[in-house]
Copies of this chain bind each other. A is one copy, B any other.
Protein backbone atom coordinates (compact mmCIF):
# COMPACT_ATOMS: atom_id res chain seq x y z
CA UNK A 1 0.00 0.00 0.00
CA UNK A 2 1.16 3.47 -0.85
CA UNK A 3 1.72 5.71 2.10
CA UNK A 4 2.41 9.36 2.50
CA UNK A 5 5.99 9.82 3.52
CA UNK A 6 7.00 12.49 5.97
CA UNK A 7 9.43 13.95 3.48
CA UNK A 8 6.66 14.66 1.06
CA UNK A 9 4.30 16.23 3.48
CA UNK A 10 7.08 18.07 5.23
CA UNK A 11 6.32 21.73 5.20
CA UNK A 12 2.65 21.17 4.50
CA UNK A 13 1.57 20.20 7.96
CA UNK A 14 1.59 23.87 8.83
CA UNK A 15 -0.61 24.62 5.84
CA UNK A 16 -3.13 21.97 6.85
CA UNK A 17 -3.30 23.28 10.37
CA UNK A 18 -3.75 26.86 9.18
CA UNK A 19 -6.49 25.78 6.80
CA UNK A 20 -8.45 24.41 9.72
CA UNK A 21 -7.75 27.39 11.94
CA UNK A 22 -8.99 29.66 9.18
CA UNK A 23 -12.47 28.25 9.69
CA UNK A 24 -12.42 28.63 13.46
CA UNK A 25 -10.05 28.52 16.44
CA UNK A 26 -9.33 24.99 17.54
CA UNK A 27 -6.99 22.82 19.60
CA UNK A 28 -4.65 19.89 19.11
CA UNK A 29 -6.82 16.86 19.37
CA UNK A 30 -9.64 18.38 17.38
CA UNK A 31 -7.31 19.49 14.61
CA UNK A 32 -5.74 16.08 14.31
CA UNK A 33 -9.17 14.53 13.96
CA UNK A 34 -10.13 17.06 11.32
CA UNK A 35 -6.98 16.40 9.32
CA UNK A 36 -7.75 12.71 9.35
CA UNK A 37 -11.33 13.34 8.33
CA UNK A 38 -10.61 15.88 5.62
CA UNK A 39 -8.04 13.57 4.09
CA UNK A 40 -10.51 10.67 4.10
CA UNK A 41 -8.36 8.86 6.64
CA UNK A 42 -5.38 8.93 4.32
CA UNK A 43 -3.24 11.11 6.48
CA UNK A 44 -2.89 11.04 10.22
CA UNK A 45 -0.62 13.66 11.70
CA UNK A 46 1.66 12.54 14.50
CA UNK A 47 1.05 14.13 17.86
CA UNK A 48 4.58 15.39 18.25
CA UNK A 49 4.55 16.85 14.77
CA UNK A 50 1.33 18.67 15.54
CA UNK A 51 2.36 20.15 18.84
CA UNK A 52 5.78 21.18 17.64
CA UNK A 53 4.08 22.89 14.71
CA UNK A 54 2.01 24.88 17.20
CA UNK A 55 5.11 26.01 19.05
CA UNK A 56 6.90 26.96 15.86
CA UNK A 57 3.97 28.78 14.33
CA UNK A 58 3.20 30.69 17.48
CA UNK A 59 6.83 31.79 17.66
CA UNK A 60 6.59 32.90 14.04
CA UNK A 61 3.43 34.84 14.77
CA UNK A 62 1.16 32.78 12.53
CA UNK A 63 -1.07 31.65 15.38
CA UNK A 64 -1.99 32.78 18.88
CA UNK A 65 -2.91 30.59 21.80
CA UNK A 66 -5.44 31.04 24.56
CA UNK A 67 -6.85 28.68 27.12
CA UNK A 68 -10.53 28.05 27.53
CA UNK A 69 -12.91 25.47 28.87
CA UNK A 70 -14.85 23.37 26.35
CA UNK A 71 -17.88 25.32 25.18
CA UNK A 72 -20.29 22.41 24.71
CA UNK A 73 -20.42 21.23 28.31
CA UNK A 74 -20.24 23.68 31.12
CA UNK A 75 -17.14 22.40 32.81
CA UNK A 76 -14.22 20.23 31.93
CA UNK A 77 -10.54 20.67 31.65
CA UNK A 78 -9.25 23.85 30.08
CA UNK A 79 -7.57 23.38 26.74
CA UNK A 80 -5.07 25.36 24.73
CA UNK A 81 -6.83 26.78 21.72
CA UNK A 82 -5.16 28.38 18.74
CA UNK A 83 -6.36 31.15 16.51
CA UNK A 84 -4.86 32.22 13.19
CA UNK A 85 -3.36 35.71 12.96
CA UNK A 86 -3.35 38.11 10.00
CA UNK A 87 0.25 37.13 9.40
CA UNK A 88 -0.78 33.49 9.48
CA UNK A 89 -3.47 34.14 6.91
CA UNK A 90 -0.92 35.76 4.65
CA UNK A 91 1.45 32.85 5.17
CA UNK A 92 -1.29 30.38 4.37
CA UNK A 93 -2.06 32.22 1.15
CA UNK A 94 1.58 32.12 0.14
CA UNK A 95 1.83 28.43 0.89
CA UNK A 96 -1.17 27.82 -1.33
CA UNK A 97 0.48 29.68 -4.17
CA UNK A 98 3.67 27.79 -3.54
CA UNK A 99 1.76 24.55 -3.63
CA UNK A 100 0.25 25.37 -7.00
CA UNK A 101 3.69 26.10 -8.37
CA UNK A 102 5.23 23.02 -6.83
CA UNK A 103 2.51 20.82 -8.17
CA UNK A 104 3.06 22.17 -11.64
CA UNK A 105 6.79 21.53 -11.44
CA UNK A 106 6.66 18.06 -9.91
CA UNK A 107 4.07 16.84 -12.39
CA UNK A 108 6.55 17.25 -15.21
CA UNK A 109 8.49 14.42 -13.62
CA UNK A 110 5.63 12.07 -12.89
CA UNK A 111 4.71 9.56 -15.53
CA UNK A 112 2.73 6.93 -13.68
CA UNK A 113 -1.01 7.41 -13.35
CA UNK A 114 -2.89 7.00 -10.10
Contacts and interface: CB of A to CB of B under 8 A. Distances in A.
A19 B114 contact: no
B101 A4 contact: yes
Interface SS, A side: helix
Interface of A: 2-5, 7-12, 15-16, 19-20, 22, 38-39, 42-43, 92-94, 96-106, 108-114
**Copies of this protein in the complex:** 2
A10 B6 CA distance: 9
B105 A4 contact: yes
A9 to B, nearest CB: 7
A39 B108 contact: yes
B93 A112 contact: yes
